[in-house]
Amino acid sequence: MMMESMSGLLYALASLGAFALCAGIVLAIAQKIFHIEGDPMIDNIDALLPQTQCGQCGFPGCKPYATAVAGSEAEVNHCVPGGERTMLQIANLMGVEPKELDEEASAPMLAFVREDECIGCTLCIKACPVDAIIGAPKQYHTVIADHCTGCTLCVEPCPVDCIDMLVKPELIEHWAWPLPDTKRSQLGHERREQHAGHA
Amino acid sequence: MPAMLRTLAQKMGLMAHSFRGGIHPDMHKLSAMNPIENVAISPVLILPMKQHIGSVCSPLVKVGDHVLRGQKIAKSEGYLSVPVHASTSGRVVKIEEHAIAHPSGMGMPSIFIEADGDDRADESLEPIIDWQNTDPTLLRERARMCGLAGLGGAVFPTFIKLVQDKRFPIETVILNGIECEPYLTNDHRLMVEQASEILDGMAIIMHMVGTSSGIIAIEDNKADAAQAMQEALNSKDGMDDVRIEVLPTRYPQGSEKQLIYTLTGREVPAGKLPMHIGVLCQNVGTSKALRDAVMLGQPLTERIVTISGDALPQPANLRVRLGTPIRSLFARQGLEDFNHIQIVHGGPMMGERLSHPDIPVIKSTSGILALSKQAIDAAHTVENPCIRCGHCSEACPVSLVPNLLADFCRSDQLEKAEDYQLFDCIECGACSYVCPSNIPLVHYFRYGKGQIALARREQVFAEASRQRSEGRDARIERELAEKAARRSRVRKTHAPKPVADASANKPATPDVTASDNAVENTAKPEEKS
Amino acid sequence: MTEFALILLSAVLVNNYVLTKFLGICPFLGTSSKVETAIGMSFAVMFVMTLASTASWLVQQYVLIPLDLQYLQTIFFILIIASLVQLIEMMIHKTSPVLYQALGIFLPLITTNCAVLGVAILNVQQEQTFLTSALYGGGAAIGFALVLILFAGIRERIDVSPVPAAFKGSPLALITAGMMSLAFMGFSGLVKV
Amino acid sequence: MSLIMLSSPHAHGGDSIRMMMFTVVLALLPAAAVSVYLFGWLAFLLIVSCMLSALLMEAVCLKMMKRPLSTLLDNSAALTGLFLALTLPATTPWWMAVLGSVFAIVLGKQVYGGLGHNIFNPALSARVILLISFPLSMTTWIMPMSSVAPALNLFDFSTCATIFFYGTDALLTGGQLTLDAITMASPLGHIKTEATLGVPVAEALKAYNYSYLDAFLGFEAGSIGETSALALFIGGIFLLARHSITWHIPFAYIGTVLLLAAIFNQAAPDQFATPMFHLFAGGLILCAFFMATDPVSSPVTPVGQIVFGIGCGVLTWSIRSFGGYPEGAMFAVLLMNCAVPLIDHYFRPRVYGQNVGKQS
């Protein structure tokens, strides 16, 4: 009696072991075939970020923040200039629940150099993450309005403090229609809130 | 009649083509029988720097200059633009921001001209009498010089369309006399009173684009205009391949794409222009303005404007100088107090609602309406939930699905809105008109389009910033690598020799330190990972 | 030939695994928020289910019965399904990372999906031949896919509507799933198999 | 001048939801009138109780959701109540009718967010819930005009009231009537039971002394609103004339059923019923003209509506011919309602200028 149960046990172990082994081999081979290098998610997220390289998310630029979010070490709602839309897009891409923004994005800003006070020390040129300030040592510098992302990194290193942040002027060509805001579309707003909270 | 059967019948020529959808609003053509009246020149004319589709012009005159009627006062910037001309002789009083007919309420830099009363014309452009043998490019330059833009309401610079392109030969010229917008009757009166001038303009257009066949499209609610044009056409020689086409009244028959499909059975492919399918469409008013520019040497300084509305005592069609404030025109027609009145710039279906009447008449002003409060409130009542009844997608002439599009725009699902072809919407308003729940569909589409355009602009800006930032990082790495290489080279040259040549290394050091400090402080405050 | 068609029809419509047998509800609710994810999940489940039901029949026939190890049935089937899921996970991670990210936890969860294991064990209990067990596996997977994609279409629409706060999200999803199973009861008795 | 930005157009055609719903109620009046004529006070009590409870329940829901009660005026709740009443058998007790209306309003519509957001047709989903919860009483039919049961005078208010409030068995305690004396199988149910015994369709109908004319006018067993094909056709044509619905769904739906019935009837006459029979039997016309064309739960685009109609037709005919339940129309419409969001997405009309290819 002991012998059958022993041999039964033996058969069980043998068959299970054999099956598991060949499954393992197949998977190992598959691992080689479907090997993937870097994580493409980083580029997808980086493409969503506004690239202001401003560091307000606590990371030295957009690419590092994208890597952190892809590796899910950082939350999706740290990008302040991106605002709610970027946060919703990243949450959508990562398939996580959208989180409230911790800090409301201010109106878009532009740096402006008061040229008569500028001593030409090139400190702000080196501080600007997107090379939006031009000028040579000992010559006064100026900010290229089209290139400035408003990240305020140049204000602090300036020794004579001659850079101030101005609100970006709104052009008539860039004006966009707002949502219908009359009592008439109260229902529309209600539906918008519904969706916003549940992207 | 099932849509498939209808298109089949149309393809086999059994049935005239007619565009899909469309609505039948009551037309309120109150001023259809009033002849065109000339308006006295208002003391101050306000000319905004942009009255067309394209870039803003820059002023050529200074405050205090004296100008003649038709003198160029602002030059066009870039290709897609046309200059602005003084509409009367006088003195430039000031150049500053002034309100224009724009929903945002934002202003546009404008030139204020104080009329001196004798309206002396500027003779610099001499008339081209025998334009038949003039080189079309010369005529095209004249059209641009005279500031011609589509007067049907689109204000697209006319000279860009009037071109002979080997790859896209124009077969048919279509003259758009449809005017399907309620209340507006200026094209109608122009056709009745100046039919032969319009046909001269059409002949010039056909000469410029090198075709001999043309169609003049008129709606059947303007029988007298069709008759006047037919008589003028019969008396004209050399235009035998041109015919008048009277089409059933239906809004928006006058829209370029719908008119082209109705007359030729061909559709303008998405993202392409009518010229890509060999068709050129022009408004009757523009054709007459082209005739004045070529045969009389007169730049575009005035236009016919319908002033009407259920709250206006005396509707009329006025020949108005560009820059005349709307308030003076309303006063001329007996309307002074505006507090129960809504002013609309253009027709009720596609026009802008103005918040105050101190806005000048510009090239795109085809009509100004004074609508009573209850007329506007009836149109903008409380929005009910959409019951997916499908009336809006039936009415849409571009066969979109407006209610789904509105849902996407309202809930910011913009990629879906683009996938459903939001940008093919011509904002004609037929869907909002028929919606039983009074949903402001066109408003949601405009919001959607604005957000998508904003997102695209930010995307382009972000892409440029990213490239510059990566270029900068690469530059810093390169400089650091050079510094490290240079330091290691310096250490190698000094290290092995004994004390004897200690003095030799004196000259080498200065230049190293100079470039050192330049490179030293390029590192950012916090090190880039 | 009609006999096979009837089997397939009965597996897809009449006794649909999700709406009549109520198996595989958690991926049904989890991955149905967007239609693209639902389609991705359906392909994954179709791949795993069909192969799992055939492989488990083979294992049952040629390994368990000769060695009379029927009591090891569940462990073996889970082993088969797990390795298939591992395979499909690698394939999806390689081909479309976005789908991989969107499916998230629900991709490895197919291993514990009661519909997949259910079809394998039911095939064995009803002593199906090799061909009919493959047909049942495929039919069940197609049924699962059909219902999942329909439900995803509905979810995308009700997520945007002004649902009363108490019903927002999964309560309404469950009510809708209930209504769908009510509708699917119309198919009962359609096929006399 | 208010600075609120109003976009064009500044004109409106004057159509409103209330008018559209009222048109559908008008279209249903002939069917309701005929049902009262055929089933007497029973039908009247049913219709009134369903409509009242639907309106009451909607008011309660709106109050709970703090939404303005004015939406009650768009008579969509009244319409749902009337729809539900017309699909119920004459002998439905009052509490079942009220429960049905509550299901229709709460589970059918309000839970999805009110008018315009429900996925399933509210009246139909309530009817299927009742069918599956109370199978017996939902499938007991009585012949109209009490021609079969002379003792049951449908125009005497007291008898009808007792049936309505205390159910059919209370009536029978009086002893003079037995349940199966006054009830009988619906034509569809009769054929299905006979088919299981192998009796060909033609004979089954003869035994049931079924006549197409009676079925067309309405003298046949069935729910109170679906028996008279004539009244439903009048309502349907009225809806088409008033452009409340488009021809796509009804024509596609009825056309598919008739086509399938014709083909299979030719192939096996004794196993499958004739197209005429399918047209007048059960709730096909009611579902095709009123239930399937409910704008909220049907596709928006014409192409989608045709696909929806064909789907309903195939499902109705196959459930009637092969399925377990005698009447397939209700299930078919609900099943196709599930597919509407996908149909909307994949069957959109070709937009002007898209892939026009080479043009003449």
Question: Least CB-CB distance to C97: which of A19, A40, A194?
Answer: A40
Residue B186 in tokens: 């200026």
**pLDDT at site A160:** 87
pLDDT band at D197 (very low <50, low <70, confident <90, very high): confident
CA D98 to the chain's CA centroid: 17
Helix axes C35-59, C130-158, angle to 10 degrees: 160
H-assigned helices in D16-112: 17-64, 76-86, 94-103
Using beta carbons and an 8 Å cutoff, which residues of C are at the interface with B? Answer: 160
What value does the mean pLDDT take over residues B376-398? 89
The tens digit of pLDDT for each residue in B505-526 reads: 444 444 444 444 444 444 444 4
Q: How many CB atoms lie within 10 A of CB D133?
A: 14
* pLDDT tier at D170, thresholds 50, 70, 90: low
Cis peptide upstream of residue A60 (ω within 30 degrees of 0): no
B15 in Cβ contact with B25 (< 8 Å):
no
Judge whether residue B316 has pLDDT over 90: yes
User: For B354, left (φ over 0), alpha (ψ -120 to 50), or beta?
Assistant: beta
Q: What is the token pair recorded at A69?
A: 């979010």
Give per-residue pLDDT as tens, D133-147. 998 888 888 777 655
In which element (H, E) is residue B141 found? helix B136-145
Q: How does B425-452 read in b/e, with b if 16+ C-beta sit within 10 Å?
A: bbbbbbbbbbbbbbbbbbbbbbbbbbbb
Interval B269-310: pLDDT, tens: 988 899 899 999 999 999 999 999 999 999 999 999 999 998
Q: Which of A88, A129, A196 sits opposite B469 (nearest CB)?
A: A129
pLDDT score for B44: 92
Provide the pLDDT for residue D217: 82
Non-local (6+) Cβ contacts of B485 within 8 A are none
Q: Among D13, D300, D359, select the one facing B403 at the smallest CB separation.
A: D300
Residues in chain D with CB shorter than 8 Å from the CB of B399 are 349-352
Which residues have C-beta within 8 Å of that of residue B114, sequence separation ≥ 6? B43, B44, B90, B91, B92, B93
- β-bridge pairing B316-321 and B341-345: unpaired
Q: Do D331 and C158 touch (CB under 8 A)?
A: no
Alpha carbon distance, N-terminus to C-terminus of chain D: 52
When mean pLDDT is compared across A46-55, B345-354, B431-440, the lowest value belongs to A46-55
Yes or no, beta carbons of A191 and C159 under 8 Å apart: no
Instruction: Decide if D171 contacts D163 (C-beta within 8 A).
Output: yes
Per CB-CB distance under 8 Å, the chain B contacts of A150 are: none
Contact between D340 and D297 (Cβ < 8 Å) = yes
Better-predicted residue by pLDDT, D182 or C2 = C2
Specify whether the CB–CB gap between D61 and D122 falls below 8 A.
Answer: no
- Residue range D47-57, pLDDT digits in tens: 999 999 999 99
| Contact in structure between A98 and A199 (CB atoms under 8 Å) | yes
pLDDT one-digit tens code per residue, B111-162: 999 998 888 888 888 888 888 888 888 999 999 999 999 998 889 999 999 9
What percent of chain B has pLDDT above 90?
Answer: 57
Query: Which position has the higher pLDDT, D153 or C160?
Result: C160
Provide the pLDDT for residue A1.
56
Q: Which residues of D touch C35 (CB under 8 A)?
A: 342, 345
CA distance C177 to C150: 10
Q: Which residues of A touch D4 (CB under 8 A)?
A: 181-182
Banded pLDDT at A184 (limits 50, 70, 90): low
Span A88-127, pLDDT tens digits: 888 877 777 777 777 777 778 888 888 888 888 888 888 8
Q: Would you call A177 and D5 a contact, using CB atoms and an 8 Å cutoff? A: yes
- Provide the chain B residues 421-460 that lie in CB contact (below 8 A) with chain D: 421, 424, 427, 429, 432-438, 440, 442-443, 446
| Spatial CA neighbour of C111 closest among C130, C143, C139, C88 | C88
Identify which of A183, A161, A166, A148 has the alpha carbon closest to the alpha carbon of residue A117.
A161
Is residue B56 within 8 Å of B77, Cβ to Cβ? yes
ipTM of predicted complex: 0.88
Residues on chain A bordering chain D, Cβ-to-Cβ distance under 8 angstroms: 177-178, 180-182
Name residue D188's amino acid: L
Collect all residues with Cβ–Cβ distance below 8 Å to B470 and sequence separation of at least 6: none
Q: How far apart are the C-alpha atoms of D57 and D103, rounded to whole Å? A: 9
Dist. CA B293–CA B144, nearest whole Å: 10
More confident residue, D106 or A184: D106
Question: In chain B, what residues touch D309 (CB-CB under 8 Å)?
Answer: none
Which residues from D are below 8 Å from B271, CB to CB?
353
Pick the closest to residue B147 from B215, B251, B48, B17 (CA basis): B48
Shortest alpha-carbon distance between residue B418 and chain A (Å): 16
- Residue found by looking up tokens 């799933």 in the block: C177
pLDDT digits (tens, 9 = 90+) for D158-169: 777 777 777 766
Q: How far is CA B220 from CA B7, B177, B248, B308, in A?
A: 23, 11, 5, 21
Dist. CA D258–CA D254, nearest whole Å: 6
CA-based end-to-end distance of chain C: 14
Read off the pLDDT of residues D222-258 as tens digits, 9 standing for 90 and up.
Answer: 888 888 889 999 999 999 998 889 999 999 999 999 9
Residue environment code for B14-28, b if the CB has 16+ CB neighbours within 10 A, otherwise e: eeebebbbbbebebb
Paired strand residues for B121: B69
- Residue A199 has which token pair? 């992207």
Task: Measure the CA–CA gap between B449 and B409, rounded to whole angstroms.
Answer: 8
Over range B383-387, report the average pLDDT: 88
d(CA B64, CA B91): 6
Q: What tokens were used for A95?
A: 């398939």
How does DSSP assign A8-73, residue by residue? HHHHHHHHHHHHHHHHHHHHHHHHHHT---S-HHHHHHHHHS------TTSSSSHHHHHHHHHTTS
The residue whose two tokens read 């105050």 is B356
Residues of A in contact with D6 (CB under 8 A): 182
Helix (H) or strand (E) holding B280: strand B279-283
pLDDT for the residue numbered B86: 92
Tell me the pLDDT tens digit for each residue of A130-158: 888 888 888 888 888 888 888 888 888 88
- Which pLDDT score is estimated for A197? 46
Chain segment B204-213, per-residue pLDDT in tens:
999 999 899 9
In chain C, the percentage of residues whose pLDDT exceeds 90 is 24
Question: In which band, very low, low, confident or very high, does the pLDDT at B504 lie, cut at 50, 70 and 90?
Answer: very low
**Could you state, in chain order, the average pLDDT of each consecutive group of 10 residues for chain C (193 residues)?**
86 90 88 89 90 89 82 87 89 84 82 87 86 91 94 91 88 93 88 67
Please give the Cα distance from B301 to B113 (Å, whole number): 13
Query: Which residues in chain D are contacts of C156 at CB distance < 8 A?
Result: 341
State if pTM tops 0.95: no
- Give the pLDDT of residue D3: 53
- What is the C-alpha separation between D12 and B432, in angstroms, rounded? 7
Q: Is B433–D11 a contact, with Cβ atoms under 8 angstroms apart?
A: yes
Assess A192–C contact: CB distance below 8 Å, yes or no: no
Smallest CA-to-CA distance from D64 within D106, D101, D18 is with: D106
For residues B236-248, give the mean pLDDT: 89
- For C157, nearest residue in chain A (alpha carbons): A195
Triad B27, B33, B38: Cα angle to 5°:
115
> What does the block give as tokens for A156?
């602090």
Q: Where are the domains of chain B?
A: 384-529
Contacts of D345 in chain C (CB under 8 A): 35, 153
Q: Which residue in B4, B337, B364, B384 has the most chain D C-beta atoms within 10 A of its own C-beta, making it the best mutation to test that interface?
A: B384
Residue D132 near chain C (CB below 8 Å)? yes
- Residue of D288, D291, D231, D299 lying closest to D104 (CA atoms): D291
For the cut 50, the answer to whether the pLDDT of residue B453 exceeds it is: yes
Closest CA to C153 of D119, B153, B84, A65: D119
Identify the bridge partners of residue B371 per DSSP, sorted by sequence position: B342
Cβ distance of D4 and A182 shorter than 8 Å:
yes
Domains along chain A with CATH numbers? 40-94 (1.10.15.40), 106-169 (3.30.70.20)
Sign of the Cα torsion D266, D270, D275, D276 reads positive
* D51-94 pLDDT tens trace: 999 999 999 999 988 888 887 888 889 999 999 999 998 888 88
Q: Which residue has the higher pLDDT, A51 or B328?
A: B328
Determine the pLDDT at residue B509: 42
Helix (H) or strand (E) holding B489: helix B441-494
CB contact under 8 A, B469 and A176: no
pLDDT at B180 over 50: yes
Pairing of the two strands B316-321 and B36-38: parallel
* Residue D91 · residue D142 · CB < 8 Å: yes
Would you place residue B5 in the very low, low, confident or very high pLDDT band (cuts 50, 70, 90)?
confident
CB contact under 8 A, A15 and C69: yes
Structure tokens at B15: 């049935």
Which structure tokens are listed for B439?
């949903």
Rounded to an integer, what is the distance from CA B165 to the centroid of its chain?
23
| Nearest C-alpha neighbor of D98 from the set D60, D39, D56, D159 | D56
**Side chain identity, residue A10:** L
The pLDDT value given to residue D293: 93
| pLDDT of A9 higher than 80 | yes
pLDDT at position A189, please? 65
For residue A135, is it left (φ>0), alpha (ψ between -120 and 50) or beta? left
- In total, chain C counts a number of residues equal to 193
| Distance separating alpha carbons of residues D272 and D287, to the nearest angstrom | 21
pLDDT, residue A192, reads 64
End-to-end CA distance of chain B: 68
